[in-house]
Structure 1
């Protein structure tokens, strides 16, 4: 083999090797391990999320057995059983019969009526997540009473009314008659949980009901548990990494130039404000309440037993109030540390206490006067006009000791007058003092 032949052979091998390596490089696919998908921002949960049925709840049940035989309860267990029962029903054929009703209070509280009382008006569109509504043509309306007629004879259909005392409207719906009969047999009868109530006609449009006899309630004392401000910062700000933290006397402040979170340790409040663009929008009542529930559920902010209490559509404000384990509402002076308030609009606001109830350290019984005594007391107040009396209720006044971690829940009578809840002072025996707080 000549020298030229050897060079040609070696060159051919090199070219072939280069082509093979190039082809392998182009077609090579490495076998990487699949990485699990992860969220870049972890969801922050303060407590637990809650369904609408656990937040939008009745606070009283009334059974009218006769003209002067009224029984009622605020027992959470009895309310839970009743709502569980009617959530099985199928409500159909809704009809506005307001013009057919002569005197809504007497209509609602006639003999043979079971009345489920809610603290404020609820959009039926939202409550369709709690009960079954089969009516494609249903117009959205609000109600604060569900009235079950257990006496009206029906061959196939039973009658259930959805009533709004605020707007003075009555909607009639139909359910299978067997459900009404079952309800009458299981619920519409005397139970130790139910107390005798008496009626008070505050105005032509409103009749109120209260316990007819003295009521024994417990006075509680709890240790409070301070909420973690950092968790709320991470939950409420869209990008917590850019939030600046500042210390003020008795305050912590978090700011990202768009939103502000201020925790006041003297007032025991947590206030979050977000500046929103645009004018104050019109928000439908259905969206207003649902939006507020969704907002708190996003960070699972139901640290205690908060329930829907009030909705002010004009001011775009929704209030959730703390309830004790016996079903009584809890009130407080300014600041409203027994409430969660959500305001929507140009400036969105979220206001609540910066603590939750912890270990109970004390419990003593107190006897409170009858509802009839409360009415007599109110009627003697200077300038009192029963037409402006919207509600009267037993409940608790929350008092936070500024020097310690203790929180007291003091039993008291409360009344709502011209849109504002006020408490009636009690002496040590549970009797009424002469002044109002």
Structure 2
């Protein structure tokens, strides 16, 4: 019996060994077919043009004052030779000990009509914290002055020095500072640059500084300039490119695969990932981006930090499709800030008509967080037609406004040349225009073509 059990064990053991060899052979000769997993294809994002604050915050024009009521003007676009010369010098300017400096009636008269100097004019008020980033200023002025819209250098003959006036038209404030600019630099280098530029007529309206105490009120003159003679500006028709839906989604959403499209009955199109959204009308080339998700923002930001944050956001989200400049910063009704950048063509700003919103990028922020941005989808490409116009001088503009009873010219606080932008099917029309700013009224836009040219008459838009 035992012998039979031993024989059975031997047979079973040999069978197991045989099965083991068979399985080993099968595994050895039948290796699994591994599938090579290709890495995901990386699609490089289209590069976008970026900007720095120092590139976007620039004066709109420079006035050269020669005394004896003589003034000339140059615009500050980068291609302008005169501006390039002055801007190189601006990097060296140094201002010291700024102090409040209310001007008397006599001091205003001397400054406007007699003194030689150089005046940098901004389109609107620029916060003082931003000005302090653009120029070297030794002294505490940021807490005493919110911002300025002009920086006026003038030569004091009695002291043989050059002073700088920081002027705020909004707050009717004037601060004076010493400068490192020598009289020789101002009189023999800066002023000769503008000697052959178009002459301007100074327009000035007398007001008073804001004070609840009459005895503390001081005269304050609101000043702007108009060309003495007609000048030539080119009217353009521009082809344009549109930002595509894919570019929009890539620019504003972290994960494009989560974005869905919603088409409303009123032809509104919405792209959303459940948090952020882009909204636009199908017949309008203009978007509103909204990010309502609250994130821990930075408190007590200075104006220059808020502007830098807005610029950084635009740099990362679609960039600057055309030439823009800082326009203004203001408080919103909700308590945040609204920061506007305006589009330019050469030296002239664009102004839109019929609510087309071609002319600006507007950023709204709250507690340091960007919550909304409004911008055009149109990118000017190449001009397809151009026509040189002779545009109205300052005297002709005022005569036109009076004769057509458009506005009381004594209530005008500023007037400047611009391009009126109108979008048509397949092209954008850029027409030279006068923008007239009137106290307590909306701006008036007037076609700038001079009647003396013998062409199409002027028109109120």
State the TM-score bracket (shorter-chain normalisation).
0.7 to 0.9
Residue of structure 2 in register with 1:51 after alignment: 52
**Which of 1 and 2 has higher RCO (CA within 8 Å, sep 6+)?**
1
TM-score w.r.t. length of structure 2: 0.75
Deviation at residue 274 of structure 1 after TM alignment: 2.3
Deviation at residue 71 of structure 1 after TM alignment: 0.9
Residue of structure 2 in register with 1:164 after alignment: 168
Q: 1:260 aligns with which of 259, 266, 277?
A: 277
1:336 matches 2:353: no
Q: Can you list the C-alpha shifts for 1:346-370, whole angstroms capped at 9, x where unaligned?
A: 9932111111110111111011111
1:181 matches 2:184: yes
- Given that residues 324 and 330 in structure 1 are in contact (C-alpha distance below 8 angstroms), is that contact kept between their aligned partners in structure 2? yes
How many positions carry a matched residue from both structures?
A: 390
- Distance, in Å, in 1 between the alignment partners of 2:224 and 2:254 is 46
1:93/1:355 CA distance change after superposition, 3 Å: same
1:244 matches 2:250: no
Deviation at residue 381 of structure 1 after TM alignment: 5.6
Q: 2:386 aligns with which of 325, 344, 363?
A: 363
Q: Can you list the C-alpha shifts for 1:4-55, whole angstroms capped at 9, x where unaligned?
A: xxxxxxxxxxxxxxxxxxxxxxxxxxxxxxxxxxxxx999666311122221
* Structure 1: gaps (5+ residues): 1-40
Aligned pairs for 1:22-171 (under 5 A) are 47-76=48-77, 77=80, 78-98=82-102, 100-102=103-105, 106=109, 109-110=112-113, 111-135=115-139, 139=143, 141-152=146-157, 154=159, 158-171=162-175
- Given that residues 398 and 409 in structure 2 are in contact (C-alpha distance below 8 angstroms), is that contact kept between their aligned partners in structure 1? no
Residue of structure 2 in register with 1:275 after alignment: 292
1:262/1:397 CA distance change after superposition, 3 Å: same
- Distance, in Å, in 2 between the alignment partners of 1:80 and 1:270 is 35
1:428/1:126 CA distance change after superposition, 3 Å: closer
Deviation at residue 119 of structure 1 after TM alignment: 0.4
- Given that residues 90 and 132 in structure 1 are in contact (C-alpha distance below 8 angstroms), is that contact kept between their aligned partners in structure 2? yes
- Distance, in Å, in 2 between the alignment partners of 1:238 and 1:118 is 37
1:207/1:381 CA distance change after superposition, 3 Å: farther
- Given that residues 196 and 212 in structure 1 are in contact (C-alpha distance below 8 angstroms), is that contact kept between their aligned partners in structure 2? yes
- Given that residues 426 and 433 in structure 1 are in contact (C-alpha distance below 8 angstroms), is that contact kept between their aligned partners in structure 2? no
Q: Can you list the C-alpha shifts for 1:275-296, whole angstroms capped at 9, x where unaligned?
A: 2549xx9975444433322322
1:397 matches 2:389: no
Residue of structure 2 in register with 1:234 after alignment: 250
- Distance, in Å, in 2 between the alignment partners of 1:213 and 1:378 is 17
Deviation at residue 218 of structure 1 after TM alignment: 0.5
Q: 1:289 aligns with which of 288, 307, 311?
A: 307
- Distance, in Å, in 2 between the alignment partners of 1:181 and 1:425 is 42
Q: Can you list the C-alpha shifts for 1:47-98, whole angstroms capped at 9, x where unaligned?
A: 3111222211111111121232111122522333322212212222121223
Of 50-59 and 114-123, more deviation after overlay is shown by: 50-59
Q: Can you list the C-alpha shifts for 1:318-360, whole angstroms capped at 9, x where unaligned?
A: 22111112x0111111122111112234993211111111011
1:244/1:300 CA distance change after superposition, 3 Å: closer
Q: 1:423 aligns with which of 445, 448, 457?
A: 445
- Distance, in Å, in 2 between the alignment partners of 1:112 and 1:219 is 35
1:194 matches 2:197: yes
- Distance, in Å, in 2 between the alignment partners of 1:423 and 1:432 is 16
- Given that residues 126 and 328 in structure 2 are in contact (C-alpha distance below 8 angstroms), is that contact kept between their aligned partners in structure 1? no
Rg larger for:
2
